[in-house]
Every structure is written in structure tokens, then in C-alpha cells.
Structure 1
């Protein structure tokens, strides 16, 4: 039996409900900007029955079948990833961040998100997308989001707190927004779900 083990972001497959998309992650002492985030489709199985899309997992993949199967899995950190195409009513902070990027002649920008008391609740990144293909690249794992999320995890003194990541493709705008809510159960994450999702 040929197996490999590693750390992965377990994502919903954009092409089938019968598989998952695993994106390889760096080890804790590895530079996240130097890692190659390789996407691999894996077969759905009982080992994944309690995993939510976006969880950071340690897993062993069995390559005897195609696609490979998961023989062992441990969830290291609960995170939830949501991809929202054709987003309308994009929140103001993201629009402002993109306007600043355009003014400065930059292809990307970021801004810290705060609640009404001024407390930091998340961060939003915006990326220019003149080709219209960036959102799909994020969803397929061919354009890694992981350096952004891992940078947040390493900069926050709240080890183990579950995050929520929202990838938004605004209608009519040439950019994609990635919002990372520091607390998956916090007000920012709940507001994002209520605004852009049906659940």
C-alpha cells in the first residue's frame, strides 16, 4: 500500500459531491510563503464524515485507488471556507480597500476589519481580477489562499480559535475579496453568513 502523510486544508470539491479537495499545507516551522500548495482531489469517505470544509487536518492518503482515499485523519483546527460567486452588496470596507489599490496603482490591498467598539474582528484582502478567473482559481486550490490564513493564525494570540474565510466574487467589479473572520462564532462571521449565504 502506497501512502503519504501531511497537513492539508480540506475543502469541498468544486466538481463533485463524491470527493474533497485537499490543499497541502506547510509544517508549523516552515515558511508559508515558500511552500507549494499542491491541490489533490480525494474520495469522500467515512473518515471525512465529521469534517467541515475548511478544516486544517493531518491526514494519511492511500494512493492505491484513484482518486486517493483517506486512511487516517485528525482535525488540527476548525475553520470554515465559503465561496460566494456573483456577490452583490459587497461590504464597504472591501470596496474602500479596492479603491485604495486602484488609486495607488496596486493589484492588491488589505484592511483590518473592526466592530463598532474598534476591536479587530478580521482582515479583508482584495485582489485584482481582470481575467475573471481568480475566484475559480481560489475555489480549485490552484491559487492558494493559505498564506493569508496562516499569516493570520501566526499573528494572533488565540491558538485554536476557529476561523471563517469568505471568498467573494462581486458582480461587475474586477477584483475578488477574501475576508478572514478571526472568530467563526463572532459577530463578523455571523453577519457575513447572514448577508451572503442562505444558511
Structure 2
């Protein structure tokens, strides 16, 4: 009999071989899943995972949230609010700092978080991409906060080329102008969705 686990998971990233790095949302544990049609980084889904030969395979999947995650290393041309958030963190001696973002009309359209890189200790960017550092609490706060942004959203995890921090930008409107600008500026092409 094949061992199975039922749960809710979020896809954090896709490995070069197509394997999906997912996080079990009940316990925060990362699990690698065989390539699965219709699942993209950022998607939250409920499914049975069946283990055969040590590899988890998705059975009976139900996608509940089509948020998209994108990653970029060595990025340049950071936007002003990201740099201001980082400078404030450095000035205050904070490891993490956050700030809302606004569109040109002054309406809230997202949030940015800066995480100080910890040279020689931790690779914050890799931990966020690989699911060993949590992103779910940021999404929950983003959706449950004062502005209460509805899913789906877009999330960008970026490592700047010349600054010692990792930027997480949460964008309220999936496929909107802000998300498109982020994708164009930081070389994060939009994946094809079903």
C-alpha cells in the first residue's frame, strides 16, 4: 500500500528539474513534489500526496488560491520605497522592516518587506525560495490587515545586486500594472496559467 498524506500546501518554487518545493501549511514543513501539471509557484492547493519510491506525487488536487510567486537574484534599479524601507531598518538597527506601497493616485496597492542578509549565517533569499523561512504569515497579514487585499496576489522575492538585504514585495492585484512593472523591471516573466 502506498503511504499518503492529505493536506493543504503552497508551492514555493520550481527546481530546474521541474520538481515543486511545497510547504505543508499545517506544520510549515517543506516537501518536494514530482512535477505536476497546473501547479505554479505561489499556488495554494489541497491534495493527497502519495509517496512512491521516496517521491511525493499529487493526487486529487484542488487549487484554492492562484497567487503567483516570482524570484530574482542580482536585481538592480530598486524602487524608492524599497530603498527607503531598507535605510530605515539600517538606521533603527532592525533585521526586518515593512512599509505599504501606493499607486500614483495614492491608493494602497501592496507592501514591501526588507530582510537583512546575514552573511555567513543564513541565506535569507534561499530560505524564502526553498520554504524553510515562512512567507505565509506575510500573506495572511497582507490580506487580513487594514486594507484587506483579496487573493490572488503576486509576491516577488528579490536579492539586490548591490545591497545587503532581501526584498519581498506583495502586490495586491494579480496581473495589474504594478505586478507587470515588477515583472518587466526585474526579469520575472509571467508564467502561462491554465
Q: TM-score of the superposition, structure 2-length normalised?
A: 0.89
d(CA) in 2 for partners of 1:99, 1:62: 46
Question: What is the RMSD of the two structures over their aligned residues, measured on CA atoms?
Answer: 1.6
1:43 aligns with 2:31: no
Which of 169, 177, 182 pairs up with 1:179?
A: 169
Could you tell me how far 1:101 is from its partner in structure 2? 0.7
Q: Which runs of 5+ in 1 are unaligned?
A: 27-35
d(CA) in 1 for partners of 2:176, 2:14: 26
1:134 aligns with 2:135: no
d(CA) in 2 for partners of 1:18, 1:111: 34
Number of positions where the alignment pairs a residue of Structure 1 with one of Structure 2: 185
Aligned residue in 2 for 1:12: 13
Aligned residue in 1 for 2:67: 79
d(CA) in 2 for partners of 1:136, 1:153: 24
The 10-residue stretch of structure 1 (128-137 or 184-193) with the greater mean CA deviation from structure 2: 128-137
Q: Which runs of 5+ in 2 are unaligned?
A: 190-194
User: Could you report, residue by residue, the CA deviation over 1:101-139 in whole angstroms, capped at 9, with x for unpaired residues?
Assistant: 111111110010000111000000001003261111111
The 10-residue stretch of structure 1 (118-127 or 137-146) with the greater mean CA deviation from structure 2: 137-146
Aligned residue in 2 for 1:121: 109
User: Could you report, residue by residue, the CA deviation over 1:159-179 in whole angstroms, capped at 9, with x for unpaired residues?
Assistant: 4x3100000100121110000
1:146 aligns with 2:136: yes
Aligned residue in 1 for 2:21: 21
1:88 aligns with 2:76: yes
Aligned residue in 2 for 1:55: 43
> Is residue 37–residue 144 contact of structure 1 (8 Å, CA) maintained in 2?
yes
Could you tell me how far 1:157 is from its partner in structure 2? 4.1
Q: TM-score of the superposition, structure 1-length normalised?
A: 0.87
